[in-house]
Structure 1
């Protein structure tokens, strides 16, 4: 019975890792669509979002089944609860990539981003992909050290997000209100993507240690 239970738990873990991989790939493609005005790539991200949604549904069904039928305790209970919350975070990461892709589609054939801010988003896309890949490794390997190092990448994303406002608040900003609104919303999508990735890592720390790490200082 215990062997079968832990096999199901590992299967649940694998689905979470797959969600993280798909979310990272979606944000990578969405970023390319955003920077290059690639409509086909944007449509690919939009149509594939249902794959992440389906994995969340499957992960939650498995987790609730383990709670109902196995009555886990201690570390096993932490694992199931962490998985339920992580599935929500990972699904939200997919949604944020979806929002970026929809912005690229909405402005096609024009580019969404003014040239001044495009390099920021290229870097934000790189950081987002790194965080999704790291979250996958943390999930698969229960790598606590990697989980803690993800905080520094999240800080880098926050810095990039803040710098966007520096550019837009410059009195020489020539692009008007609509592009500023687009940049503000898109920057928020990337910043939240990073936050959700770090939240997944923090839940793995909780799962392994029984303690939720202290929140980072603002």
Structure 2
């Protein structure tokens, strides 16, 4: 019975890891659509968001079944409850990627990101997607230390977010108020995507160790 239970736990982890892969790919594709004004790619990201929604529902159903049928305690209970929490956060990461894709669709055929900020938004997308990939590795491997690692990476995202905001609020900003507002939202979507990844890493570490990171 316990062997079957831990097999079910492992499958739950695999589901969460797959969700991280979907979120990472959604952000990569959304950011590519944003930077290239690719309407078809943006539409594909928006359509694909349902897949993450269904994956979250499947994780929650699996977790609820384990809670009802196995009555887990201690570390196993932490793991199951963490899975529910993490599934919600990862699904939210997918929503944020979809928001980026929606911005690309809204501004098409124009480019939402002016040339002087393309580098900033390229980095934001790459770092955020990489954080999602790393969360997937933590889920399937050793989560201890993962929160501190991703929290450090998040500092780079915060710095890029600040650079974007500084650029759009300069006196010599040449692209108008509407563009500035759109870019502020886009930078926020990227920043929140990274924040969700950090939050998942923190909960994973707690589930594994029973300790809450102080970083």
Q: Shorter-chain TM-score category?
A: over 0.9
In the aligned structure 1, how far is the partner of 2:146 from the partner of 2:200? 12
Structure 2 equivalent of residue 191 of structure 1: 191
Secondary structure, aligned partner of 1:88: helix
CA RMSD in angstroms comes to: 0.9
In the aligned structure 2, how far is the partner of 1:37 from the partner of 1:205? 39
Secondary structure, aligned partner of 2:115: coil
In the aligned structure 1, how far is the partner of 2:169 from the partner of 2:52? 36
Kindly state the Cα deviation for residue 180 of structure 1 after the two structures are TM-superposed. 0.6
Kindly state the Cα deviation for residue 63 of structure 1 after the two structures are TM-superposed. 0.5
Kindly state the Cα deviation for residue 107 of structure 1 after the two structures are TM-superposed. 1.1
Structure 1 equivalent of residue 23 of structure 2: 23
In the aligned structure 2, how far is the partner of 1:146 from the partner of 1:60? 23
Would you say how many aligned residue pairs link Structure 1 and Structure 2? 215
Secondary structure, aligned partner of 1:12: helix
Residue pair 1:42, 1:105 contacting (<8 A) in 2 also: yes
Structure 1 equivalent of residue 165 of structure 2: 165
CA deviations 1:79-115 (Å, max 9, x no partner) are 0010000000000000000000011011111111122
Structure 2 equivalent of residue 126 of structure 1: 126
Structure 1 equivalent of residue 54 of structure 2: 54
**TM-score, scaled relative to structure 1:** 0.96
Residue pair 1:131, 1:194 contacting (<8 A) in 2 also: yes
Kindly state the Cα deviation for residue 211 of structure 1 after the two structures are TM-superposed. 1.4
- Inter-CA distance 100–47: structure 2 relative to 1 (3 Å threshold): same
Structure-to-structure mapping, 1:1-218, within 5 angstroms: 1-214=1-214, 216=215
Kindly state the Cα deviation for residue 130 of structure 1 after the two structures are TM-superposed. 1.0
In the aligned structure 2, how far is the partner of 1:9 from the partner of 1:146? 20
Residue pair 2:145, 2:205 contacting (<8 A) in 1 also: no
Residue pair 1:142, 1:204 contacting (<8 A) in 2 also: no
Kindly state the Cα deviation for residue 34 of structure 1 after the two structures are TM-superposed. 0.2
**TM-score, scaled relative to structure 2:** 0.97
In the aligned structure 2, how far is the partner of 1:83 from the partner of 1:143? 13
Residue pair 1:13, 1:140 contacting (<8 A) in 2 also: yes
In the aligned structure 2, how far is the partner of 1:10 from the partner of 1:148? 24
